[in-house]
Amino acid sequence: MRLDQWLTVEPLIREFFDIQMDYHVSILPTATPYSRNAIFAGLFPDAIQRQHPEFWHEGSGDERSKNRYERQLLDLHLKRLSVELASPPKYIKIYNAEEAHNVRRNVVTFQNIPLVALVFNFLDMLTHGRSESDLLRELAPDESAFRSVMRSWFLHSSLFDALKWMSKQDCTVIVTSDHGAVLSRRSALVYGNRETSTNLRFKYGTNLACDSKYAVHLKEPGRFRLPADAMNKNYIIAKEDFYFVYPTNFHEYENKYRGSFQHGGVSLEEMILPTATLTPRS
């Protein structure tokens, strides 16, 4: 969720909550396997990989598996902070409409749970799906239209229903995001071997090459608190609104992803994020 997207739905929430606004900066790369794992663990990625290697799966081809252990990382985080809750925290990840409906039906059961973590993936799925769908591109051709689609979804979402119920309880709600996205308009040629990651706004591996006008080259991952768990491993992070394309089938992939929303790079849209503390209106 980008900051401007939050500002689109904030007026809807102010009817039910007093809102204290803060902001935080996403870590690099601005991608879920790094930034959201870091939030739940309270650790940078290199520390997660070093202290809990069983919960770090950077090289997995399955995006979901890279964040499969957020509940375990949250438990370890609370233990490290010596936080003792009256009952175990509840963690729910919402990927589809059925899971969202379950939250709507079962939200009343949250009132006796001291800590509930809800992860809504709708915006991430909409962002990725837009790259593959002509219909979604037509519905959200630019940032303004995307904000309108996001507001429409939120207005009728299970998340908004859950927030309205929470506004009648004695509770505090924190709303935040792990990263935003940028409308990628310009392609940048990148070179790497077959083990190089496939992401469009960042890549890691060995023998990576890209013009420094288009990317930040992290030759010492440890300086950026990223795992340096392989010899000569390095990262490249896309600047501004560039996206990486390999020389093979360059024009095909350049056309496919031009005008798509992507994340993982260095831009204000990806990095400056809202942290809103919601207190029910008395």
Report the alpha-carbon distance of residue 35 to residue 45 in Å, rounded: 8
pLDDT at 58: 81
**Paired residues of 186 in beta bridges:** 242
When pLDDT is cut at 50, 70 and 90, the band that residue 189 belongs to is very high
- Which pLDDT score, from 0 to 100, does residue 198 have? 78
What 3-state DSSP class applies to 37? helix
CA atoms within 13 A on the CB side of 103: 26
Over pLDDT 90: what percentage of the chain?
66
Q: How far apart are CA 100 and CA 6, in angstroms?
A: 20
Residue 82: its pLDDT value, please?
Answer: 95
Q: Is 157 or 43 the better-scoring residue by pLDDT?
A: 43
How confident is the model at residue 64, as a pLDDT?
Answer: 56
Assign 130 a pLDDT band (cuts: 50, 70, 90): low
User: What's the confidence (pLDDT) of residue 132?
Assistant: 66
Q: How many whole angstroms separate alpha carbon 270 and alpha carbon 1? A: 9
pLDDT tens for residues 135-181? 777 777 888 988 998 899 899 988 999 999 999 999 999 999 999 99
- For the chain, the domains span 3-176+273-280, 183-262
Predicted pLDDT at 62:
53
State mean pLDDT over 78-105.
Answer: 90
Evaluate whether 89 touches 78 at the Cβ level (below 8 Å).
yes
Q: Exposed (0-12), middle (13-18) or buried (19+): which is 213, by Cβ within 10 Å?
A: exposed
Average pLDDT, the chain: 90
| Residue 248 CB partners (closer than 8 Å, separation 6+) | none
Q: Does the pLDDT of residue 225 top 90, yes or no?
A: yes
